[in-house]
Structure 1
Amino acid sequence: MMEKYFSLRNARDDERGIIQDLTLAVYAQYQAVMPPAFWTVYRHNLIATLNGEGNFERIVAEQNGSIIGSVLLYPPESDPYTHATSGVSYPEVRLLAVLPQARGQGIGTALMKECERRAREAGAQAIGLHTAEIMQDAIRMYERLGYVRSPETDFRPGEGVTVLGYRHTLRHEVSQ
């Protein structure tokens, strides 16, 4: 049983390999339900995204000195899917990953809330993400957090595969 305490922070450049290994390990669960050719392309895209340079934030969850979760946060209109979506006018969350043995501690929720906090701080009115139908646990969490389907942002990266768009309206605190 892992300890319940964890912290969130920006990833350091020297942690990219750790984040890549973690993300690939987490997403490997979908290999069995994807056509082999699609999985090969998907895995390649995961690696290219994780190793890419760009205007996005890498956020990690750390516990006992180890990275146990990560997420990428893209600014508005940054096209995080390489022209698959037209640049949306709100930040986009991508590649949320939490180690299986660390699940159930609220780490995924905390990473999502941190993305929302940063987006709100940057003045965004909404935040979005894309996911696949096979990622049912993630979809349940997103919906619990208030994300709603935005089919106008769906895209199809391959035959028979639809990537589902979700959007969450951010509530801004009113100062008194």
Structure 2
Amino acid sequence: MLRDYQPTDAEAVGRVALAAFTQFAPHYSDWPAMANNVSRMAELSRTGEIIVAEDDGRVVGAVAYVGPNKPKAAFFDPAWPIIRMLVVDPSTRGKGLGRQLTEECLRRAERDRSAVIALHTTPIMTIALPMYLRMGFTKVCDAPDIFGVPYAVYVKALV
């Protein structure tokens, strides 16, 4: 079940985010700093909408949708809505939760009458990146590395 984030979800969302990113720890030059950033995913609720995936009362995934003209990294066009921090608990992967969370972001971008939606990701995310490409996202430019890991910006047309 997908639902909107509540402040009481902060700890669970942070825990799922950290569990989802831990497999990538060896790739980051400063994993403790990256882990600290990831575990604070709930802070994205200040400027965006966090969507939570719940299974039997337990948070098992989340994503942040940051709408058009909301604060975001300078490498994104400010008018674009963006998808941030798609995370799924490793114990529940393979059930389509990542795709469902992404599709909910697409619905929100359409609700906001946006012509495109963007995200940034990295080739080390060997499940997420191919999923985004299958869903119609295309690379538009490189983004700054994060702790030594290369990232790029991807956009999907919605109209």
Does residue 59 (structure 1) correspond to residue 51 (structure 2)? The answer is yes
Please name the residue that 2:150 is paired with. 162
Superposed counterparts of 1:53-92, under 5 Å: 54-81=46-73, 83=74, 85-92=75-82
Q: CA RMSD in A?
A: 1.8
Q: TM-score, normalised by structure 2?
A: 0.90
Q: TM-score, normalised by structure 1?
A: 0.82
Please name the residue that 1:31 is paired with. 25
Higher CA-based Rg? 1
**CA shift digits 1:128-160 (9 cap, x unpaired):** 101122112110110111111011x622345x4
Say which structure, 1 or 2, has more relative contact order (CA 8 Å, 6+ apart).
2
Quote how far apart the aligned CAs of 1:90 are: 1.0
Given that 1:154 and 1:165 are in contact with CA atoms closer than 8 Å, whether structure 2 keeps it comes out as yes
Q: Percent identity?
A: 29
Unaligned runs of 5+ in 1: 1-6, 172-176
Quote how far apart the aligned CAs of 1:74 are: 0.6
SS of the equivalent of 1:136 reads coil
- Matching residue's letter, 1:142: Y
Count of aligned residue pairs for this structure pair:
159
Superposed counterparts of 1:95-114, under 5 Å: 95-114=85-104
CA distance in 2, matches of 1:63, 1:49: 19
Quote how far apart the aligned CAs of 1:50 are: 2.9
CA distance in 1, matches of 2:103, 2:76: 25
